[in-house]
Chains A and B, each alone.
Chain A
Amino acid sequence: MSKRAVDMTFQALYTLTDIRVLLRETAPSHEFDKDQRVQAERLLENLERQVGSLKQEMLK
C-alpha cells in the first residue's frame, strides 16, 4: 500500500463531502440549476478518477 492510496482515500472522501454539501444546499428537492449541475458533473468526474486511482493502487 502506498501514500498515494491514502491520499486518494481522503480525496475521495472530500469529494463526497462536497457532494454532500451540494445536497444540503439544494434540499429538499435536489433540483440543480445550471451552475450546480456543472459542479455536480465535475465532482462526480473527480470522484470516479479518485476511485480509479485508488483501485489501481490497492489492487496492483
Chain B
Amino acid sequence: MKCGNGIEARQVNELFINIDPIQAGGRLTADAMKAVVAYGDGYSVCDNCRKPNRLDYISKPPIAQFHKDVAAWLNMDAMRTVPGARRGFQAVAQTYVGKGEPVLLTSLSHYTEFLAIEEAGGIAREIPADGHKLVTPDAAATKIEEVKREFGRPPVLAFIDHVDYQYGNMHDVAGIAKVAHQYDIPVLYNGAYTVGILPVDGKALGVDFVVGSGHKSMAAPAPSGILAATAERASEVFRTTSIIGDVTQRRFGIKEPEMMGCTLMGATLVGMMASFPHVKERVKHFDRELENQRIVMDTLLSIEGTKCLSEYPRTHTMTRIDTTASFDKVAETHKKRGYYLSSALEEHGITGVIPGATKVWKFNTYGTTKKQALHLAGAFVAIARENGIAIKE
C-alpha cells in the first residue's frame, strides 16, 4: 500500500512487535496520531500567534501552558521545545563553550554531544566508564583534575547521560553533578532515554539543564525534544536577541538566538503535547515495563551461551546482549548466515533486531503488553530450539 508517490505506507508497529532499541519510547499515542492528522500542515500552530510573536507564548492551542507544565513536571524553571535532543545539546554548547575550551562528557556519550562540542570549538574530554560500564562520581572527579592539569582550568560544561545509548545503563548523575558543581561546571542531563520513560526531577538531580527526546522517549513525532533549565541558566541559554540591522535599524524583539526564533511549528509540537498527559502517567508505571523486560531477559539468559552485557538486573528496558555463543554459532552454518535470526523473528511477528546481527545487539521491550512480552520470550526459545541451541530449564 502506498501513501504517496513511491512511499510505502509504514505498518511496522501494526504488523509486528517492534523491539528496535531507539524506537520503543517514541511510538505515538492515539491522541498524538489524531493531533498529527489535524496539525500536519506547515505553520499549523501559528493561526493564533499574536504579539509578542513567539512559539512559547501561543495560547491556542495551549502551547504556552505546555511549556510551563513540562518545566514543572521536570522540576525545572523554564523549558523550550527543540527539534531533537541534539539541538538542546547544541544550544547549551553554543552558550557556554568557547574555542579550545575543554568539555566533559563520558566514554558512553552519544555522538551528537561530541558534535555539539566540536561545532562550538570545544575539546572533548571523556570520563571513562568502569569495568561494569558505569560512569561514577569518583571517575568524574579524577577526570576533572586531569583536565585542570592539561588545560589549566576545569571543563566549562559537562554532558552526562543518565541512561546511555550503548548499554542502557543507569549512571549516578546526581553524584557526578555534585562533583562537577564543586568546580562550578554547569551540568547538562541527557535524558534522551529517561524523560518520558521514568520520573525525572532536575532539582533533585542537581543539574542545570535537562534535555529530553520527543521522538525517542515522549511518544512524539520526529524531530522533537525539550531543553529545560534552572532559572539562573535559563537567562543565559534562552537570552533574547540584541542584534540590529544597520540599514533598516530592525530589531527582533524577544526572539532567542539559540532557538533560532521559533522551534517546532506543527505536527511535531502538537503531537508531543497530545501525548504529554499519557507520558506523565506512564512514567509512574515504569516498574511494569521492567517486569516485561525481565520476562524477555530471563528467557534470553536461559538460552545456553547468551550473556547480558548491560548491568543486571536491569534498571532500563533497553538492553545490550551477547549471543556470540548461542545464536551466532548457528549463523556459522545456516544457509541464511547471520540473517536467519531476524528472518526467524519476523516469522514470529517480531521486528527491530538489526538484520544480520547475531553477535552483539540491542533490544528494547518498552511499551509492550505482558502478552507481547510473553510472545517475545516464547519466540526466542522456539528459534533457539529449532536451531539446536540448548535451553537451561
Query: Which of A's residues lie within 8 Å of B, judged by CB?
Result: 10, 13-14, 17-18, 20-21, 23-25, 27-29
Which residues from B are CB-within-8-Å of A18?
30
Contact among B14, B30, B37 for A27, CB-based, below 8 A: B14
Whether the Cβ atoms of B13 and A13 lie closer than 8 Å is: no
Contact among A10, A21, A28, A29 for B30, CB-based, below 8 A: A21
Residue in chain B with minimal CB distance to A31: B371
Whether the Cβ atoms of A17 and B369 lie closer than 8 Å is: no
Q: Which label, helix, strand, loop or mixed, suits the secondary structure of the B interface?
A: helix
Whether the Cβ atoms of A28 and B348 lie closer than 8 Å is: yes
Whether the Cβ atoms of B33 and A21 lie closer than 8 Å is: yes
Is B16 positioned at the interface, with any CB of A under 8 Å from its CB?
yes
A11 to B390, CA, bound (A): 52
Interface residues of B in 8-55 (CB under 8 A from A): 13-17, 27, 29-30, 33-34, 37-38
Q: In the complex, which range does the number of interface residues on chain B fall in?
A: 10 to 19
Is B372 positioned at the interface, with any CB of A under 8 Å from its CB?
yes
Is B349 positioned at the interface, with any CB of A under 8 Å from its CB?
yes
Which residues from B are CB-within-8-Å of A14?
34, 37
A24 to B348, CA, bound (A): 15
Whether the Cβ atoms of B349 and A27 lie closer than 8 Å is: yes
Contact A13:B37 (CB < 8 A) given known A18-B30, A27-B349, A28-B349: yes
Whether the Cβ atoms of B17 and A28 lie closer than 8 Å is: yes
- Besides A17-B37, A18-B30, A28-B375, 19 other CB < 8 A contacts? A13-B34, A14-B34, A17-B30, A17-B33, A20-B30, A21-B29, A21-B30, A23-B14, A24-B13, A25-B369, A27-B13, A27-B14, A27-B16, A27-B349, A28-B15, A28-B348, A28-B349, A28-B350, A29-B349
| CB-CB nearest 9 A-B residue pairs | A28-B349, A21-B30, A23-B14, A17-B33, A14-B34, A24-B13, A13-B37, A17-B34, A17-B30
A to B CB contacts below 8 Å, 26 in the list: A10-B37, A10-B38, A13-B34, A13-B37, A14-B34, A14-B37, A17-B30, A17-B33, A17-B34, A18-B30, A20-B14, A20-B30, A20-B33, A21-B29, A21-B33, A24-B13, A24-B27, A25-B369, A27-B13, A27-B14, A27-B17, A28-B16, A28-B17, A28-B349, A28-B350, A29-B349
Which residues from B are CB-within-8-Å of A28?
15-17, 348-350, 375
A29 to B15, CA, bound (A): 8
Which residues from A are CB-within-8-Å of B33?
17, 20-21
A19 to B14, CA, bound (A): 10
Query: Which of B's residues lie within 8 Å of A, judged by CB?
Result: 13-17, 27, 29-30, 33-34, 37-38, 348-350, 369, 372, 375
Which residues from A are CB-within-8-Å of B14?
20, 23-24, 27
A27 to B15, CA, bound (A): 6
A18 to B14, CA, bound (A): 12
A44 to B165, CA, bound (A): 41
A55 to B348, CA, bound (A): 41
Residue in chain A with minimal CB distance to B369: A25
A23 to B13, CA, bound (A): 9
Least Cβ–Cβ distance between B102 and chain A, in angstroms: 46
Residue in chain B with minimal CB distance to A13: B37
A17 to B38, CA, bound (A): 12
Which residues from B are CB-within-8-Å of A17?
30, 33-34, 37
**Quick one: which of B13, B29, B348, B350 has the most chain A CB within 10 A?**
B13
A10 to B38, CA, bound (A): 8
**Quick one: which of A10, A18, A20 has the most chain B CB within 10 A?**
A20
